Chains A and B, each alone.
Chain A
Amino acid sequence: MDEEENNTRRQQERRDFLRILGTAVAFGGTAAVAPTVLGEAASPQTPPNPRIPGYDWTKHRWAFGVDVGRCIGCLRCDEACKIENDVVRDPNHFRTWVERYVYLEGETRPRIDSQSDPQNIAASGSSGDYRFDDRYRNATVTKAYFVPKLCNQCEHPPCVQVCPTGASFKAQDGVVLIDQAYCIGCQYCIQACPYSARYIDHQKGVADKCTWCYHRITKGLNPACVEVCPTHCRIFGDLNDPASEINQFIRNNRVQVLKPETGNGPHVFYAGIDREVS
């Protein structure tokens, strides 16, 4: 993320903090802190517009769609993401991953695995390259599909709620970002994300996650995973644009989000998943 943008945001936060501190002194600690904690819990503070040339984050409302029926589990998205975002090439840290749901004849619950499954790692021959093995070759499969997963960029992100420093924040265009120059690496956000979309970057000692390739989308490009998907199962776009592909996808499909009961308001919309997918 842009360094200037980080600086502006931090300055604003410090001003906010000083203002809160001033109020606390004026009206007594409890009276000032209580409304901050209770009243604004649902609306994370809004940092100022970042200085990204030609980009105004108040003009966009990004969203993501996954057309599960189209995914063939080729995992090019995983690979592209790891290269684009310099994610460590091991089977334990992913900004995006793909799950395989297989219903076998006579079984009521699906068998689930991801590219990180040891059998799949063995099949690919490397913990840095990914493929699904063909373990169900001789079984009678009644239903099967692949589900790509990534950060849901929630409306009410619990990761932002629990961040003690404000290093995790929600941009005005809806994307949840991490100021890695300010993160202390407490990993509370990793605990709070119900989708396990976050992980610790051991090299930097800070949290990391999918940003929908913020450095690309703010230049008018698609996220890397969307770009490389050969079947066009990943759809990205602007909800503010009525003609955008994402709006059409949401209009033309019965879509759902993951774990809606959390109240987080995810912004990744899935078409074609069972209730087993969470």
Chain B
Amino acid sequence: MESLFTHAAPYVGYVYPNETDIPWGELIVVYPYITGLVAGAFIVSSFYHVFGMRQFRPIARFALLTALCFLLFAPMPLLFHLGRPERAFNAVITPHWTSAMAAFGYVAGFYLVILVLEVWFAFRPDIVAKSKTAEGPLRLLYRGLTLGSDDVSPAALAYDQKWARALAIIGIPSAAGLHGYVGFIFGSLKSREWWSSDLMPIIFLLSAIVSGVALLVVLYVVVWKVRRVELDDDCLKGLAKVMWAFLIVVLVVEGLEYVEMFYRAREGIDTIMQLIKGPLRTGLLIQALGSAAAFMMLTALIALRTQGRSLMVWLTLSAVLLLIAVLAMRWNVVIGGEELSKTMKGLLTFQVTFLGREGVLTSLLLLAGPFVALWILARLLPPWDEGRLEPAIAGLRSTARR
């Protein structure tokens, strides 16, 4: 048979012959990254919808749309990666339950339903209003979206809010579960020393939240600047605190992971050292320096009670650094794990490809996809809260009092 395989990974030391065809590439780096952004964005929206933290109100609904748009693209890298994408649904039709991967369709599907429902309840008054004011085919679309209910009386709105809140409450464990589960896909494999760790799901989950909050910071600043709307200092401060708090836990847990690995110093630790100094050095440096710099900036912002423009600039900078650092972390886990040979006696170097089904270009397009979807969705369902009465908690409380 003629070989279709062109990008064998070069190696040093001894690796099994089949390992030179590295199974998971850039797309599988992007997959947990996108999923993580979903989890993080959703948590931010829940700070307002569930925990009643008012400073997050300006971005609560925007965060919800962000989570939805990214979730729509979460399965795409997997689909592009499959050798037989047309059979993708085999895993859903006949799930093999001992496989962590078999649950993906169900976990992601369940979460998608929760998110769509929450978005619907959160935007229902807007949908009803638009169904009466929009023209042409858009009007039909909005009328369809009302699902035949145009009751926007205070009682109906309070009812909506109750449901939105209940869904958000279910959504928090779902978001945490979705991303913890992604960590389990890697952490549960005993074949790869670099992945096989009990801390893997926790690291994935916490860094997911950090990246999701960072994404919202960047989107908030950029989108609000483009819209020429003033940024809310309290909201920025709240985001800074959340990002700082989760970042601390991530750094501690990740630090412990490395310390434990070196302290235990099991057979093959010298090869792991070579991996860190060799093929993975750049990725680890980006992850470490990015996180450390962002941590220092955030600490300074909080300690100095920075406000206004400098808060916005430094917070955005630290968020960008964290977005890059978390992407590097995904790379370091996924690609790093495969660069460390299962023989523990050799190292491979992953070959980055730009074009092709699984190349960098596809990854970039898939990363850009959610932003395009968000741009479209934010036009259909404007999530901007300026001038709106505070509906969620106030409405609910007044009904409760009555």
Contacts and interface: CB of A to CB of B under 8 A. Distances in A.
A194 B17 contact: no
A74 to B, nearest CB: 17
Contact of B83 (A20, A184, A192): A184
A134 interface: no
Binding site secondary structure of chain A: loop
B98 A206 contact: no
Given A112-B345, A165-B91, A185 B83 contact: yes
Interface stretch (A34-42, A218-226, A229-237): A34-42
A186 B82 contact: yes
Contact of B5 (A88, A164, A206): A88
B90 interface: yes
A203 interface: yes
Contacts of A10: 94
B83 A200 contact: yes
A196 B19 contact: yes
B190 interface: yes
Interface in A81-130: 86-94, 97, 99, 112-116
Nearest to B10: A118
Contact of B20 (A13, A116, A263): A116
A194 B342 contact: yes
Interface string B89-111: 01101111111111010000000
B133 interface: no
Contacts of B95: 17, 164-165
Using C-beta atoms within 8 Å of the partner chain, give the interface range for chain A: 35 or more
Interface in A248-278: 262-263, 278
B14 interface: yes
A205 B8 CA distance: 17
Contacts of B93: 14, 17
A217 interface: no
Given A112-B14, A198-B18, A203-B4, A187 B23 contact: yes
B223 interface: no
A191 interface: yes
B298 to A, nearest CB: 35
Given A114-B17, A163-B96, A183 B84 contact: yes
Contact of B94 (A92, A160, A165): A165
Binding site secondary structure of chain B: loop
B84 A185 contact: yes
A107 to B, nearest CB: 14
Interface string B178-209: 00000001000111100000000000000000
A168 to B, nearest CB: 8
Contacts of B99: 161-164, 188
A195 interface: yes
B88 interface: yes
Given A164-B95, A194-B190, A92 B18 contact: yes
B94 A191 contact: no
Query: Among the interface residues B78, B94, B338, B343, which one has the most CB atoms of the partner chain A within 10 A?
Result: B94
Given A17-B94, A44-B98, A200 B21 contact: yes
A194 B191 contact: yes
Interface in A174-202: 182-188, 190-200, 202
A158 interface: yes
Interface string B157-191: 00000000000000000000000000001000111
A41 B2 CA distance: 38
Given A163-B99, A164-B99, A167-B90, A92 B20 contact: yes
Contacts of A36: 97
Interface in B1-48: 1-5, 8, 14, 16-21, 23-24
A197 B18 contact: yes
Contacts of A184: 82-85, 87-88, 90-91
A33 interface: yes
A166 interface: yes
A91 B96 CA distance: 32
Contacts of B81: 186-187
Given A193-B191, A262-B190, A89 B1 contact: yes
Query: Among the interface residues A114, A164, A188, which one has the most CB atoms of the partner chain B within 10 A?
Result: A164
Given A112-B14, A205-B84, A195 B342 contact: yes
Contacts of A116: 17, 20
Contacts of A86: 1
Contacts of A202: 3-5, 83
A86 B2 CA distance: 10
A61 B157 CA distance: 67
A192 B189 contact: yes
Contacts of B104: 164
Given A162-B100, A198-B18, 10 more contacts: A14-B93, A37-B98, A89-B1, A185-B82, A186-B91, A187-B24, A187-B83, A200-B21, A202-B4, A204-B83
8 pairs of A and B residues whose beta carbons are closest in the complex: A185-B83, A205-B83, A196-B16, A166-B96, A164-B101, A116-B17, A187-B23, A194-B191
